[in-house]
Amino acid sequence: MTAGTPVHRSFSGGGRAVLGALVLSSVFLLAGCARGCTSSRPPIHLNPSMDNQPKVRPQSASTFFYDGSGMRQPVPGTVAIDGLKEDTAFFTGKGADGQFVTTNPVTLDDTVLERGKQRYTIYCQPCHDARGDGKGILFQRGNVPTATFHQEKLLKYTDGQIFDVMTNGQGLMPAYRWPIPPADRWAIIAYIRGLQRERQARIASAPAGAQTAPAAQPATTDKPADKPAEKK
Ligand code: HEC
């Protein structure tokens, strides 16, 4: 009886008698049906080797690390492939001093301007309209006040500030960080600057009457119904 019971105990229970009994039974087993014999019982594992060893499963706890988490954070300063963004002016619109950059960090040429126009048409024109007057679909359908690029405030905005609005959004203006990569955002800014310059040049070369009307006056000159064409 004493010889039979230990066999059913844990393998590591030890003792020569146990080992002997096991070896004996395995020999019988091998002799009985050799390999390929199916059984509903767990296999006899004479030499576990490194088959079973402690391990950490994903998202599980661990007492090994101080923070109790089995999974590790990347080493501080790790940079993902293509993830190095040292050029803060280009990626955030802010210089190393944390201030908005005043000028476009991208070298502007015809290709960039063409790209800017194209991206503007896709992403900005629906709301800000083709001329940048903010009379797009939001204004037309919902009377939503949409900023015009020709107002004093935005004429004074630095390129970095416009980049920031596009990147992070502002008020009702959505963020375009994901659909528009940084290079395209700068190209759009170059195009908007072109729109602004064009408008300023037109105002400057307008007939004396319109020219002498400063910011305060158009409100009154715009109102009369007989002068609706003046604004366009
Ligand atoms: C879905 C409509 C919509 C689209 C598309 C859109 N805007 Fe706007 N934008 C607005 C509205 C509305 C405002 C006014 C936000 C406010 O004052 O709350 C605004 C304001 C702005 C302002 C002024 C923010 C300020 O500080 O006063 C800038 C600059 C601007 N948009 C740039 C852009 C550019 C560049 C694009 C294209 C990438 C763009 N917007 C696309 C709706 C839009």
CATH label of the domain that carries residue 111: 1.10.760.10
Q: What is the pLDDT of residue 148?
A: 97
73, part of any domain? no
- Check whether 43 has a pLDDT greater than 80: no
Ligand 1 proximity of 144 Cβ (cutoff 6 Å) = yes
**How far is Cα 159 from Cα 82, in angstroms, rounded to an integer?**
25
- Check whether 129 has a pLDDT greater than 60: yes
- Check whether 116 has a pLDDT greater than 90: yes
110, part of any domain? yes
Overall pTM > 0.85: no
133, part of any domain? yes
Scan for tokens 């630095």, then name that residue.
Answer: 158
DSSP alpha helix (H) spans, the chain: 5-8, 16-33, 88-92, 110-123, 125-128, 137-142, 152-156, 159-168, 182-204, 208-211, 218-222
Note down the domain range covering 189. Answer: 88-208
Worst-scoring range by mean pLDDT, 35-49, 95-109, 175-189, 218-232? 218-232
Measured in angstroms, how far is the CA atom of residue 175 from the centroid of ligand 1? 9
Residue 100 pLDDT grade (very low, low, confident, very high; cuts 50, 70, 90):
very high
Ligand 1 proximity of 146 Cβ (cutoff 6 Å) = yes
Structural domains of the chain, count: 1
Measured in angstroms, how far is the CA atom of residue 230 from the centroid of ligand 1? 25
149, part of any domain? yes
Q: What is the pLDDT of residue 48?
A: 79
Mutation test residue for ligand 1: of 127, 140, 176, 184, the one with most atoms within 8 Å of CB: 127
Q: Tell me if 209 sits within 8 A of 132, measured CB to CB.
A: no
215, part of any domain? no
100, part of any domain? yes
13, part of any domain? no
Measured in angstroms, how far is the CA atom of residue 68 from the centroid of ligand 1? 46
Ligand 1 proximity of 60 Cβ (cutoff 6 Å) = no
Q: Using alpha carbons, select from 111, 104, 108 the residue that is nearest to residue 166.
A: 104
Measured in angstroms, how far is the CA atom of residue 211 from the centroid of ligand 1? 28
